[in-house]
Amino acid sequence: MNHNVPRTKWAHVTLDERDAVEREARAKAAARAVLEKQKRKAPVPPVPPREAYPPIAGCESVVKYERLNHIEEGSYGVVSRARNKETGEVVALKQLKLDKEKHGFPITSLREIHALMEARHPHIVQLKELVVGDTLNKVYLVMEFVEHDMKTLLGSMRTPFLQSEIKALMQQILAAVAYMHDRWIVHRDLKTSNLLMTNRGCVKIADFGLARMFGDPQRAMTSLVVTLWYRAPELLLGAEVYDTAVDMWSVGCIFAELLLRVPLFPGKKETDQVSRIFRLLGRPTPERWPGYTALPNAATLGKSAAPSQSSLRHRFRYTTDATLDMLERMLTLNPARRISSEDALKHVYFTESPLPAHPDSFGSFPSAASGEKRRALSPSIPRRDAAQQYPLEFEWKQQNVE
């Protein structure tokens, strides 16, 4: 018992009460010591892995899907075929590439998600939901699964599409493009590998990684968009103020590819691309394209020894006048004179014989996306040193694209 406690603390406390308080304090201290000793000896339980990152509200975990096979890898994501474990539905699962991002969620992914949420159309691939993994850099887009992409299909078909089938495909593509443009969305990467097709002949536009909302008045945007082979001449010449006409040029290139079964302008680099365009369509003049000389790259890329007249009619000499007229209107050098998607849908091409085929009449094709090996690679943006050379005739030759 400690009798040296200051009197001020125990002035009104008896000796028995003071002894009781001190015994209680010693008991509590001993109990704490025992607990600390037990904690040091007890093993630390493992932390279970998270199935989803909690701050991403409303997103379920990717574990609800079972991956079936890899489909393809692009600049902005890796696409796999997957199955919903609960419903059995087969979907396309796109993991966004976020590993190298230092400034948060990439703007390209935000634009793609926003565009897919805005564009709900039968001929635009449907975004079903977003799911997440166990870390911040694992975000997935769950989209409807479509069996084919047009590029692979064109490379593997033994017989070409019928003219009535090409009309049906073009009608669907233009309907989707018109829907996007009416909602102020410019896709900026239309090409055959971004066109998906079901076994029932239904076309769906995919890959909105470069899509952008535009407005009036127009604002400057980067000209480094659209895969080279499908890039409009105003973009090649460096235009930063442009509109939906860049998509219509790409649609024209797709139309030509459906007719020829080879890309129309398979350039190796920008200079070669411009040269190919001018050789076929004729070099631009101030009368045909007012103001083109003021574009940033016109001085270096705009000079060409190409003829002044177009040879498109000779290249497509076996097509009807209506087919050629619509193709010429899509591949007009001057973007201000290029046909719009709405006007293209009203073109006489779709009313002359043969009429567009019903999608149900399309034959079934083996699906490369379901696991079969692809025979032709999709034309991502070609490397500047790529040595690919496509034939300029009508017959198709299988090539390896780097």
| Each residue's pLDDT tens digit, 318-358 | 999 999 999 999 999 999 999 999 999 999 999 999 999 99
**CATH 3.30.200.20 given to domain 67-144:** yes
Q: Which helix (H) or strand (E) holds 247?
A: helix 245-260
Res 297 pLDDT > 60: yes
Give 232: exposed, middle or buried? Use CB within 10 Å, 0-12, 13-18, 19+: buried
Which of 142-151, 204-213, 331-340 is predicted most confidently? 331-340
- Domain-wise residue ranges, the chain: 67-144, 148-370
Q: Is 134 a catalytic residue?
A: no
Antiparallel, parallel or unpaired: β 127-132 and 60-61: parallel
Res 99 pLDDT > 80: no
- Find, among 277, 235, 272, 285, the residue nearest to 256 by Cα: 277
CA angle, residues 157, 262, 196, in degrees to nearest 5: 60
Res 88 pLDDT > 90: yes
Give the separation between CA 369 and CA 145, rounded to whole angstroms: 9
Q: Which two tokens stand for residue 246?
A: 């860049």
What is the pLDDT confidence band of residue 8, given thresholds at 50, 70 and 90? low
CA 332, chain centre distance (Å): 26
Amino acid 392: pLDDT = 31
Which letter does DSSP use for residue 129 in this model? E
What is the pLDDT confidence band of residue 124, given thresholds at 50, 70 and 90? very high
Res 18 pLDDT > 80: no
Residue pair 76/113 in contact by the 8 Å Cβ criterion? no
Higher pLDDT, 225 or 98: 225
- Interhelix angle 245-260/321-330, rounded to 10 degrees, is 140
- Find, among 346, 309, 314, 313, the residue nearest to 327 by Cα: 313
Higher pLDDT, 130 or 381: 130
Query: What count of Cα atoms within 13 Å lies in the side-chain half-sphere of residue 222?
Result: 9
Amino acid 387: pLDDT = 34
- Tokens 């474990």 -> residue: 85
- Find, among 279, 192, 188, 265, the residue nearest to 225 by Cα: 188
Residue pair 18/2 in contact by the 8 Å Cβ criterion? no
Res 166 pLDDT > 60: yes
Higher pLDDT, 42 or 387: 42
Res 374 pLDDT > 70: no
What is the pLDDT confidence band of residue 192, given thresholds at 50, 70 and 90? very high
- Tokens 């496509």 -> residue: 390
Residue pair 173/359 in contact by the 8 Å Cβ criterion? no
Amino acid 378: pLDDT = 44
What mean pLDDT is predicted for residues 131-155?
89
Superfamily of domain 148-370: Transferase(Phosphotransferase) domain 1 (1.10.510.10)
Residue pair 83/66 in contact by the 8 Å Cβ criterion? yes
What mean pLDDT is predicted for residues 177-186?
96
Give the separation between CA 239 and CA 133, rounded to whole angstroms: 40
Amino acid 106: pLDDT = 77
- Find, among 216, 261, 119, the residue nearest to 177 by Cα: 119
Residue pair 102/59 in contact by the 8 Å Cβ criterion? no
Which of 126-140, 170-184, 277-291 is predicted most confidently? 170-184
Higher pLDDT, 33 or 321: 321
- Tokens 């971004």 -> residue: 194
Give the separation between CA 215 and CA 185, rounded to whole angstroms: 9
Give the separation between CA 335 and CA 289, rounded to whole angstroms: 8
Amino acid 141: pLDDT = 92
Contacts of 118 (CB under 8 A, 6+ apart): 183, 185
What is the pLDDT confidence band of residue 235, given thresholds at 50, 70 and 90? very high
Amino acid 138: pLDDT = 86
Catalytic residue among 16, 149, 189, 216: 189
Amino acid 371: pLDDT = 54
Which letter does DSSP use for residue 196 in this model? E
What percentage of the chain has pLDDT greater than the value 90? 52
Amino acid 385: pLDDT = 36
What's the mean per-residue pLDDT of the chain? 82
What mean pLDDT is predicted for residues 377-387?
40
Q: What is the full DSSP assignment across 56-79?
A: STT-EEGGGEEEEEEEEE-SSEEE
Res 375 pLDDT > 70: no
Give the separation between CA 197 and CA 155, rounded to whole angstroms: 14
